[in-house]
Each structure stands twice: as C-alpha cells, then as structure tokens.
A = this chain, B = another copy of it.
Amino acid sequence: MHPLLSKKGFIIDIDGVIGRGESPIEDGILGVKKLREMNKKIIFVSNNSTRSRRIMMERFRKFGLDVNEDELLMATYATARFIASEKKNAKIFTTGEAGLIEELKLAGHEIVEYDKAEYLVVGSNRGVNFDLMTKALRACLSGMRYVATNPDRIFPAEDGPVPGTGMIIGALYWMTGREPDVVVGKPSKVIMEQALEILNLDAEDVVVVGDQIDVDVKAGKAVGAETLLVLTGVTTKENLEKMVERFNLKPDYVLDSLAKLFD
C-alpha cells in the first residue's frame, strides 16, 4: 500500500488532476472513487476565481463524480469566507465574474460601487474592460482593504495561455504600487487553512495533491502537509526536473496520476 494511503484526508486540486476545463481526467476520477471507498475525507481546492461551487458541482457531475458543496473549496467561496471572518456583511467592489459575485452574496456580503466599498476584491474576469479597470484603479488608490482571489498570472487554457487574475493584480500594481493585502488562493495559507478547518484535520493528517509545484506543492508546504504531485496537468515527465529546479521545491511524492496511489 502506498504510504500516503495512511493519511486521513486528501486536499485535491481540480484543474490538471480531475479535469482539464470541461474534459474529465479519467485516472484522477478513478483515484477519487477509490479514496472514497477507503472512507478518506476529501476536499477539492481550486484557485478558480470565476465559478461558484454550484457551477463546479455540475461539472463534476458531468465527469461522473457526485460531490456536495462541503467538498468544494474554490477561490471564489474561500474569498467570501475569508472576508466574512474579518467583517460580516461587508460592502464589496469586485472586478470578478458572476461566479465570484454569487459566492460573495451567499456569504452575506453586499456588492456595491467602488466609491461605496469597504473591500476591493480582485478576481479574474473574461469581461474585463476599461471602465472596470478604471473603477478598480480608483478603489485601489483610495487605500481600501484589497483582497485577491488568487495570484495566478497565466492560465493554461486548451487553446494556449490566457491571462489569469494576475493580469489585474499586475496592472494595479504597476499603476498604484499596491499589491493585494491578502491573497486567498494557493499557494497562500489562507485557502489551505480553510480546507483543514472544513476537513477538521491537522496538516500532518492530510496530503495535498496537485499538478503544479509553485501552486499546489508550495501551498501544501506552507501549512506543513505532505505533498503529492501528479503528472496529469502542467507538470509532465518531460518538464518535471526543470520545474523542480525552477521553483526550487520538491514534492514529497510524484505519481503519473491520482489512480497510481493504488498500484
């Protein structure tokens, strides 16, 4: 039996582990099913900043995997939770999309214009435009508390690289000199500590599984958990060595896919 199967909980990345966009990764899904058979506690943690848990549950269903809301911790929901931990019913101006707005509202927050806000929440937006950036700029200049859903600079989409949330973070940094006061998504501890809290486990009792060394492995190490890198996403057999060198970080275990835990 693989030594990681002695752990009680699994914090599992979605993109590059369970699916690639709309397409399932069969060996990732198989791995999850086998972990469930062993009654492992599982939470899916993703830096996705545009989708609500509701939307992600639908995607999982299409992958042939039924998950409930408690098993999903995306940057959208985690950001809403984080702000609620600081301030109930906060007034928020956000650059984000409907999925982020849905989670912010579900957590009791109010979406307002930039000049009425207590929080600037930066999340990716495929509808970004000059007006939205002008409002974000002014919110940022005002000095209000500034939270980013995730730090991803580039997202590897199926047809090539596209801007991540980092596009907006970088634009604001260049214009104002400000970086986010808090970044919620991986490799930040913020989302990882929420995952541990939801699982009700200590870091030593969990494994953090993902496909990116600078995101997933770094996030796992940030809370002191063991890490498993799978080669079904950004990191591959071919680039593994380069990636380890580039980020100067070594996962505790490397497997071709999540299912290989059971070989």
Give chain A's interface residues, CB within 8 Å of chain B.
125-130, 133-134, 137-138, 141, 153-154, 160-164, 166-176
Using known A-B contacts A126-B130, A128-B130, A174-B153, determine if residue A137 contacts B166 with beta carbons closer than 8 Å: no
A163–B128 CB distance below 8 A: no
Interchain CB contact (< 8 A) of A168 among B160, B166, B171, B176: B171
What B residues does A176 contact at CB under 8 A?
A: 154
A167–B174 CB distance below 8 A: yes
Interchain CB contact (< 8 A) of A134 among B125, B163, B168, B171: B163
What B residues does A161 contact at CB under 8 A?
A: 134, 137-138, 141
What B residues does A137 contact at CB under 8 A?
A: 154, 161-163, 167
B138–A133 CB distance below 8 A: no
Q: Taking each of A160, A166, A174, which has the highest tally of chain B beta carbons within 10 Å of its own beta carbon?
A: A174
Q: In whole angstroms, what is the CA distance A87 to B237 when docked?
A: 42
Complex copy number for this chain: 2
Residue of B nearest to A130 (CB): B126
A173–B170 CB distance below 8 A: yes
What B residues does A166 contact at CB under 8 A?
A: 174-175
Interchain CB contact (< 8 A) of A171 among B141, B162, B163: B163
Q: Which 4 A-B pairs have CB atoms at the shortest separation, nearest pair first?
A: A170-B174, A171-B171, A167-B171, A153-B175
Using known A-B contacts A129-B129, A130-B128, determine if residue A169 contacts B174 with beta carbons closer than 8 Å: yes
Residue of B nearest to A127 (CB): B130
A163–B138 CB distance below 8 A: no
The smallest beta-carbon distance between A53 and chain B, in angstroms, is 23
Q: In whole angstroms, what is the CA distance A125 to B153 when docked?
A: 21
Known A128-B133, A154-B175, A167-B174; 4 more pairs at CB < 8 Å: A130-B163, A137-B161, A137-B167, A138-B161
Q: In whole angstroms, what is the CA distance A175 to B173 when docked?
A: 12
What B residues does A129 contact at CB under 8 A?
A: 127-129
What B residues does A173 contact at CB under 8 A?
A: 170, 174
A170–B163 CB distance below 8 A: no
B162–A170 CB distance below 8 A: no
Interchain CB contact (< 8 A) of A175 among B126, B133, B170: B170
Q: Taking each of A154, A161, A167, which has the highest tally of chain B beta carbons within 10 Å of its own beta carbon?
A: A167
The smallest beta-carbon distance between A48 and chain B, in angstroms, is 16
The smallest beta-carbon distance between A156 and chain B, in angstroms, is 12
Interchain CB contact (< 8 A) of A163 among B125, B126, B127, B133: B133
What B residues does A170 contact at CB under 8 A?
A: 170-175
